[in-house]
Amino acid sequence: MRALGGIFDTDILSSKLDNLKSLTEKENFWSNPNSAKNIMQEISVLEEQLKLVDGITEGLNDISEFYEIAVEENDSDSILEYSNELVKINKKIESEVFKLQFNGETDIRDCYVEIHAGAGGTESQDWASMLKRMYLRWADKNNLKVKIIHESIGEEAGIKSSTLLIEGKYSFGYLKKESGVHRLVRISPFDSSSRRHTSFSSVWVTPHIDDDINIEIQEKDLRVDTFRASGAGGQHVNTTDSAIRITHIPTNTVVQCQNERSQHKNRDTAMNMLRSKLYELEVRKIEGEKKATEESKTEIGWGNQIRSYVLHPYRMVKDLRSSYEDSDPDGVLDGEIDKLLFSNIKI
Protein backbone atom coordinates (compact mmCIF):
# COMPACT_ATOMS: atom_id res chain seq x y z
CA MET A 1 0.00 0.00 0.00
CA ARG A 2 1.60 3.22 -1.12
CA ALA A 3 -0.68 5.52 0.84
CA LEU A 4 -2.74 5.57 4.01
CA GLY A 5 -6.28 6.65 3.26
CA GLY A 6 -4.99 8.31 0.09
CA ILE A 7 -3.19 10.85 2.29
CA PHE A 8 0.18 9.48 3.46
CA ASP A 9 2.16 8.75 0.30
CA THR A 10 5.30 6.95 1.43
CA ASP A 11 7.29 8.08 -1.62
CA ILE A 12 6.60 11.74 -0.78
CA LEU A 13 7.24 11.21 2.92
CA SER A 14 10.54 9.43 2.22
CA SER A 15 11.64 12.18 -0.15
CA LYS A 16 10.91 14.89 2.42
CA LEU A 17 12.73 12.90 5.10
CA ASP A 18 15.82 12.48 2.91
CA ASN A 19 15.89 16.21 2.10
CA LEU A 20 15.67 17.18 5.78
CA LYS A 21 18.34 14.68 6.81
CA SER A 22 20.65 16.08 4.17
CA LEU A 23 20.34 19.50 5.86
CA THR A 24 21.58 18.04 9.16
CA GLU A 25 24.83 17.02 7.47
CA LYS A 26 25.79 20.61 6.66
CA GLU A 27 28.60 22.11 8.75
CA ASN A 28 26.59 25.14 9.93
CA PHE A 29 23.43 23.16 10.75
CA TRP A 30 23.61 23.80 14.51
CA SER A 31 24.62 27.46 14.16
CA ASN A 32 20.92 28.36 14.40
CA PRO A 33 19.60 26.26 17.34
CA ASN A 34 15.93 27.16 16.84
CA SER A 35 15.99 26.28 13.15
CA ALA A 36 17.86 23.05 13.88
CA LYS A 37 15.35 22.14 16.57
CA ASN A 38 12.43 22.65 14.18
CA ILE A 39 14.07 20.52 11.49
CA MET A 40 14.77 17.71 13.96
CA GLN A 41 11.14 17.81 15.05
CA GLU A 42 10.00 17.57 11.42
CA ILE A 43 12.30 14.58 10.92
CA SER A 44 10.82 12.90 13.99
CA VAL A 45 7.24 13.47 12.73
CA LEU A 46 8.05 12.09 9.27
CA GLU A 47 9.75 9.02 10.75
CA GLU A 48 6.69 8.40 12.94
CA GLN A 49 4.36 8.72 9.93
CA LEU A 50 6.41 6.26 7.87
CA LYS A 51 6.49 3.83 10.78
CA LEU A 52 2.74 4.21 11.16
CA VAL A 53 2.05 3.50 7.48
CA ASP A 54 4.31 0.45 7.51
CA GLY A 55 2.62 -0.90 10.65
CA ILE A 56 -0.91 -0.42 9.35
CA THR A 57 -0.02 -1.85 5.94
CA GLU A 58 1.50 -4.93 7.53
CA GLY A 59 -1.53 -5.34 9.80
CA LEU A 60 -3.99 -5.01 6.93
CA ASN A 61 -2.10 -7.55 4.82
CA ASP A 62 -2.04 -10.07 7.69
CA ILE A 63 -5.71 -9.64 8.53
CA SER A 64 -6.73 -9.86 4.86
CA GLU A 65 -4.89 -13.16 4.49
CA PHE A 66 -6.29 -14.66 7.70
CA TYR A 67 -9.79 -13.35 6.92
CA GLU A 68 -9.85 -15.14 3.57
CA ILE A 69 -8.82 -18.39 5.27
CA ALA A 70 -11.52 -17.95 7.92
CA VAL A 71 -14.16 -17.37 5.24
CA GLU A 72 -13.06 -20.48 3.34
CA GLU A 73 -13.28 -22.54 6.57
CA ASN A 74 -16.55 -20.86 7.61
CA ASP A 75 -14.96 -19.97 10.97
CA SER A 76 -17.48 -17.43 12.30
CA ASP A 77 -15.51 -16.66 15.49
CA SER A 78 -12.36 -15.79 13.53
CA ILE A 79 -14.36 -13.77 10.99
CA LEU A 80 -15.82 -11.69 13.83
CA GLU A 81 -12.38 -11.27 15.42
CA TYR A 82 -10.75 -10.08 12.19
CA SER A 83 -13.71 -7.80 11.42
CA ASN A 84 -13.25 -6.14 14.82
CA GLU A 85 -9.53 -5.72 14.11
CA LEU A 86 -10.37 -4.01 10.81
CA VAL A 87 -12.68 -1.60 12.66
CA LYS A 88 -9.83 -0.73 15.07
CA ILE A 89 -7.41 -0.14 12.19
CA ASN A 90 -9.97 2.01 10.39
CA LYS A 91 -10.40 4.17 13.51
CA LYS A 92 -6.64 4.56 13.72
CA ILE A 93 -6.48 5.62 10.07
CA GLU A 94 -9.29 8.16 10.61
CA SER A 95 -7.47 9.54 13.66
CA GLU A 96 -4.17 9.96 11.81
CA VAL A 97 -5.82 11.52 8.76
CA PHE A 98 -7.70 13.84 11.12
CA LYS A 99 -4.42 15.04 12.64
CA LEU A 100 -3.45 16.47 9.26
CA GLN A 101 -5.95 19.24 9.99
CA PHE A 102 -3.75 20.37 12.89
CA ASN A 103 -1.74 22.97 11.00
CA GLY A 104 -1.61 25.70 13.65
CA GLU A 105 1.73 26.66 15.15
CA THR A 106 0.74 25.37 18.59
CA ASP A 107 -1.63 22.50 17.71
CA ILE A 108 0.97 19.87 18.56
CA ARG A 109 1.57 21.25 22.06
CA ASP A 110 0.33 20.46 25.56
CA CYS A 111 -2.48 22.69 26.79
CA TYR A 112 -4.07 24.33 29.81
CA VAL A 113 -7.78 23.71 30.37
CA GLU A 114 -9.37 26.29 32.66
CA ILE A 115 -12.88 25.60 34.00
CA HIS A 116 -15.04 28.15 35.85
CA ALA A 117 -18.47 27.63 37.39
CA GLY A 118 -21.10 30.18 36.41
CA ALA A 119 -23.70 31.85 38.59
CA GLY A 120 -25.90 29.43 40.48
CA GLY A 121 -23.82 28.29 43.42
CA THR A 122 -23.78 24.57 44.11
CA GLU A 123 -25.55 23.64 40.85
CA SER A 124 -22.96 25.30 38.62
CA GLN A 125 -20.07 24.21 40.82
CA ASP A 126 -21.20 20.60 40.53
CA TRP A 127 -21.50 21.04 36.76
CA ALA A 128 -17.95 22.45 36.64
CA SER A 129 -16.68 19.34 38.44
CA MET A 130 -18.55 17.14 35.93
CA LEU A 131 -16.79 18.95 33.06
CA LYS A 132 -13.46 18.51 34.81
CA ARG A 133 -14.11 14.78 35.14
CA MET A 134 -15.11 14.62 31.45
CA TYR A 135 -11.76 16.05 30.34
CA LEU A 136 -9.85 13.88 32.82
CA ARG A 137 -11.58 10.76 31.49
CA TRP A 138 -10.92 11.85 27.88
CA ALA A 139 -7.24 12.39 28.66
CA ASP A 140 -7.01 8.99 30.35
CA LYS A 141 -8.61 7.24 27.36
CA ASN A 142 -6.02 8.90 25.10
CA ASN A 143 -3.04 8.11 27.37
CA LEU A 144 -2.40 11.79 28.14
CA LYS A 145 -0.96 13.03 31.43
CA VAL A 146 -2.84 15.58 33.53
CA LYS A 147 -1.63 17.91 36.28
CA ILE A 148 -3.95 20.02 38.43
CA ILE A 149 -2.33 23.47 38.48
CA HIS A 150 -4.93 25.25 40.59
CA GLU A 151 -8.31 24.40 42.06
CA SER A 152 -10.90 26.20 44.17
CA ILE A 153 -13.36 23.83 45.86
CA GLY A 154 -17.08 24.66 46.24
CA GLU A 155 -18.54 25.12 49.70
CA GLU A 156 -21.07 22.26 49.40
CA ALA A 157 -20.10 20.36 46.27
CA GLY A 158 -18.13 20.61 43.06
CA ILE A 159 -15.54 23.25 42.20
CA LYS A 160 -15.57 26.99 41.67
CA SER A 161 -12.65 26.75 39.25
CA SER A 162 -9.90 24.41 38.14
CA THR A 163 -6.90 24.67 35.85
CA LEU A 164 -5.52 21.48 34.28
CA LEU A 165 -2.31 20.97 32.32
CA ILE A 166 -2.90 18.21 29.77
CA GLU A 167 0.38 16.82 28.43
CA GLY A 168 0.62 14.89 25.19
CA LYS A 169 1.11 15.42 21.46
CA TYR A 170 -1.73 17.44 19.84
CA SER A 171 -3.50 18.08 23.16
CA PHE A 172 -4.15 21.69 22.19
CA GLY A 173 -5.11 20.75 18.64
CA TYR A 174 -7.82 18.44 19.92
CA LEU A 175 -9.21 20.70 22.64
CA LYS A 176 -8.74 24.23 21.27
CA LYS A 177 -12.38 24.54 20.16
CA GLU A 178 -13.67 23.64 23.64
CA SER A 179 -13.31 27.25 24.78
CA GLY A 180 -16.72 28.71 25.56
CA VAL A 181 -19.78 28.27 27.76
CA HIS A 182 -21.10 24.75 28.37
CA ARG A 183 -24.79 24.41 29.42
CA LEU A 184 -26.32 21.56 31.45
CA VAL A 185 -30.03 20.81 31.79
CA ARG A 186 -31.04 18.17 34.35
CA ILE A 187 -33.17 17.28 37.34
CA SER A 188 -31.14 18.73 40.18
CA PRO A 189 -29.79 16.25 42.74
CA PHE A 190 -29.64 19.20 45.16
CA ASP A 191 -33.31 20.15 44.81
CA SER A 192 -35.64 18.33 47.22
CA SER A 193 -38.53 19.09 44.87
CA SER A 194 -36.73 17.40 41.94
CA ARG A 195 -37.11 20.38 39.66
CA ARG A 196 -35.27 20.86 36.40
CA HIS A 197 -32.29 23.22 36.56
CA THR A 198 -30.05 24.83 33.94
CA SER A 199 -26.41 25.37 34.86
CA PHE A 200 -23.51 27.03 33.08
CA SER A 201 -19.74 26.68 33.27
CA SER A 202 -17.03 28.13 31.06
CA VAL A 203 -13.99 26.44 29.59
CA TRP A 204 -10.92 28.21 28.23
CA VAL A 205 -8.15 26.26 26.50
CA THR A 206 -4.69 27.71 25.81
CA PRO A 207 -1.50 26.13 24.45
CA HIS A 208 1.45 25.43 26.73
CA ILE A 209 4.27 27.44 25.16
CA ASP A 210 7.99 27.40 25.82
CA ASP A 211 10.97 29.64 25.19
CA ASP A 212 10.94 29.21 21.41
CA ILE A 213 7.88 31.49 21.27
CA ASN A 214 8.77 34.98 22.46
CA ILE A 215 6.11 36.73 24.55
CA GLU A 216 7.34 39.99 26.07
CA ILE A 217 5.89 40.75 29.50
CA GLN A 218 6.99 43.80 31.46
CA GLU A 219 7.22 43.55 35.23
CA LYS A 220 5.43 46.88 35.69
CA ASP A 221 2.34 45.38 34.02
CA LEU A 222 2.04 42.64 36.66
CA ARG A 223 0.33 42.48 40.03
CA VAL A 224 1.51 39.48 42.04
CA ASP A 225 -0.44 38.21 45.06
CA THR A 226 0.49 35.35 47.35
CA PHE A 227 -1.97 33.31 49.40
CA ARG A 228 -2.31 30.02 51.16
CA ALA A 229 -3.22 27.06 48.98
CA SER A 230 -6.48 25.27 49.69
CA GLY A 231 -7.84 21.82 48.92
CA ALA A 232 -5.91 18.63 48.29
CA GLY A 233 -2.21 19.03 47.81
CA GLY A 234 -0.09 17.63 50.60
CA GLN A 235 1.54 18.96 53.76
CA HIS A 236 2.37 22.39 52.33
CA VAL A 237 -1.32 23.25 51.87
CA ASN A 238 -2.57 25.88 54.34
CA THR A 239 0.85 26.18 56.00
CA THR A 240 2.64 28.81 53.92
CA ASP A 241 1.71 31.54 51.45
CA SER A 242 3.10 29.49 48.56
CA ALA A 243 0.21 29.90 46.11
CA ILE A 244 0.60 32.61 43.47
CA ARG A 245 -1.91 34.79 41.65
CA ILE A 246 -0.60 37.00 38.83
CA THR A 247 -2.71 39.66 37.12
CA HIS A 248 -1.62 41.12 33.79
CA ILE A 249 -3.03 44.62 34.24
CA PRO A 250 -3.27 45.76 30.57
CA THR A 251 -5.41 42.76 29.57
CA ASN A 252 -6.90 41.97 33.01
CA THR A 253 -5.71 38.38 32.55
CA VAL A 254 -5.43 36.41 35.80
CA VAL A 255 -3.55 33.15 36.40
CA GLN A 256 -3.08 31.12 39.58
CA CYS A 257 -0.93 28.20 40.65
CA GLN A 258 -0.82 26.27 43.92
CA ASN A 259 0.29 22.76 43.01
CA GLU A 260 4.00 23.22 43.70
CA ARG A 261 5.58 23.25 47.16
CA SER A 262 7.56 26.44 46.71
CA GLN A 263 6.40 29.93 45.86
CA HIS A 264 9.20 30.17 43.28
CA LYS A 265 7.99 27.10 41.34
CA ASN A 266 4.39 28.27 41.52
CA ARG A 267 5.44 31.63 40.09
CA ASP A 268 7.31 29.95 37.22
CA THR A 269 4.26 27.86 36.36
CA ALA A 270 1.92 30.86 36.66
CA MET A 271 4.16 32.92 34.36
CA ASN A 272 4.10 30.14 31.77
CA MET A 273 0.31 30.10 31.99
CA LEU A 274 0.23 33.87 31.57
CA ARG A 275 2.50 33.75 28.52
CA SER A 276 0.29 31.02 27.05
CA LYS A 277 -2.87 33.05 27.63
CA LEU A 278 -1.41 36.23 26.15
CA TYR A 279 -0.15 34.29 23.14
CA GLU A 280 -3.59 32.78 22.54
CA LEU A 281 -5.28 36.16 22.97
CA GLU A 282 -2.99 37.64 20.31
CA VAL A 283 -3.63 34.74 17.94
CA ARG A 284 -7.39 35.08 18.36
CA LYS A 285 -7.13 38.81 17.88
CA ILE A 286 -5.38 38.26 14.58
CA GLU A 287 -8.04 35.74 13.60
CA GLY A 288 -10.81 38.14 14.55
CA GLU A 289 -11.99 35.94 17.44
CA LYS A 290 -10.92 38.01 20.43
CA LYS A 291 -14.40 39.42 21.03
CA ALA A 292 -15.97 35.96 21.10
CA THR A 293 -13.27 34.70 23.43
CA GLU A 294 -13.74 37.53 25.89
CA GLU A 295 -17.52 37.11 25.86
CA SER A 296 -17.22 33.38 26.53
CA LYS A 297 -14.87 34.15 29.38
CA THR A 298 -16.83 36.85 31.15
CA GLU A 299 -20.50 36.08 30.48
CA ILE A 300 -21.17 32.54 31.66
CA GLY A 301 -24.87 32.32 30.86
CA TRP A 302 -27.65 32.37 28.28
CA GLY A 303 -26.85 33.24 24.69
CA ASN A 304 -23.15 32.42 24.85
CA GLN A 305 -23.12 28.63 25.15
CA ILE A 306 -21.26 26.55 22.58
CA ARG A 307 -22.71 23.21 23.67
CA SER A 308 -25.76 21.94 25.54
CA TYR A 309 -25.84 18.76 27.60
CA VAL A 310 -29.49 17.82 28.19
CA LEU A 311 -30.30 15.03 30.65
CA HIS A 312 -34.02 15.89 31.06
CA PRO A 313 -36.70 15.84 29.61
CA TYR A 314 -34.78 14.10 26.79
CA ARG A 315 -31.17 12.96 26.60
CA MET A 316 -28.92 14.70 24.07
CA VAL A 317 -25.64 16.57 23.74
CA LYS A 318 -25.69 19.14 20.97
CA ASP A 319 -22.86 21.33 19.77
CA LEU A 320 -24.37 24.64 18.72
CA ARG A 321 -21.59 25.50 16.26
CA SER A 322 -21.36 22.31 14.21
CA SER A 323 -24.95 21.16 14.99
CA TYR A 324 -23.54 17.71 15.78
CA GLU A 325 -25.76 15.73 18.17
CA ASP A 326 -24.88 12.79 20.41
CA SER A 327 -27.70 10.76 21.96
CA ASP A 328 -25.43 9.27 24.66
CA PRO A 329 -24.77 12.05 27.21
CA ASP A 330 -23.55 9.52 29.78
CA GLY A 331 -20.82 8.41 27.37
CA VAL A 332 -19.90 12.02 26.58
CA LEU A 333 -19.64 12.93 30.27
CA ASP A 334 -17.49 9.82 30.73
CA GLY A 335 -14.94 11.22 28.26
CA GLU A 336 -16.27 9.99 24.90
CA ILE A 337 -15.99 13.41 23.26
CA ASP A 338 -13.90 12.67 20.16
CA LYS A 339 -16.82 13.01 17.72
CA LEU A 340 -17.78 16.34 19.26
CA LEU A 341 -14.17 17.52 19.01
CA PHE A 342 -13.89 16.35 15.40
CA SER A 343 -17.15 18.03 14.40
CA ASN A 344 -15.76 21.43 15.38
CA ILE A 345 -12.22 21.19 14.14
CA LYS A 346 -13.56 20.39 10.67
CA ILE A 347 -15.69 23.55 10.45
**Which domains are assigned to the chain?**
3-99 (1.20.58.410), 111-345 (3.30.70.1660)
Query: In this predicted structure, which of 35-39, 168-172, 216-220 has the lowest mean pLDDT?
Result: 35-39
Under the banding of pLDDT at 50, 70 and 90, the label for residue 1 is very low
Under the banding of pLDDT at 50, 70 and 90, the label for residue 212 is low
pLDDT, residue 347, reads 55
Mean of the pLDDT values across residues 177-192? Answer: 92
- CA-to-CA distance for 259 and 150, rounded, in angstroms? 6
pLDDT, residue 346, reads 62
Q: Give the percent of the chain with pLDDT over 90.
A: 46
Q: How many helices (H) and strands (E) does the chain have?
A: 9, 13
Whether the CB-CB separation of 107 and 173 falls below 8 Å is answered with yes
Most confident of 36-45, 53-62, 240-249, 263-272: 263-272
Q: What is the DSSP letter of 324?
A: -
Under the banding of pLDDT at 50, 70 and 90, the label for residue 152 is very high
Query: In this predicted structure, which of 86-95, 147-156, 162-171 has the lowest mean pLDDT?
Result: 86-95
Mean of the pLDDT values across residues 43-52? Answer: 84
Whether the CB-CB separation of 184 and 199 falls below 8 Å is answered with yes
Mean of the pLDDT values across residues 231-235? Answer: 47
- CA-to-CA distance for 108 and 16, rounded, in angstroms? 20
Mean of the pLDDT values across residues 231-241? Answer: 49
Q: Residue 123, Cα to own-chain centre: how many angstroms?
A: 25
pLDDT, residue 300, reads 64
pLDDT, residue 108, reads 86
Answer whether residue 31 shows pLDDT above 50.
Answer: yes
pLDDT tens sequence across 138-148? 999 999 999 99
Of residues 164 and 47, which shows the higher confidence score? 164
3-state secondary structure of 70: helix
- CA-to-CA distance for 138 and 325, rounded, in angstroms? 18
pLDDT tens sequence across 276-310? 999 888 887 776 654 555 555 555 655 678 999 99
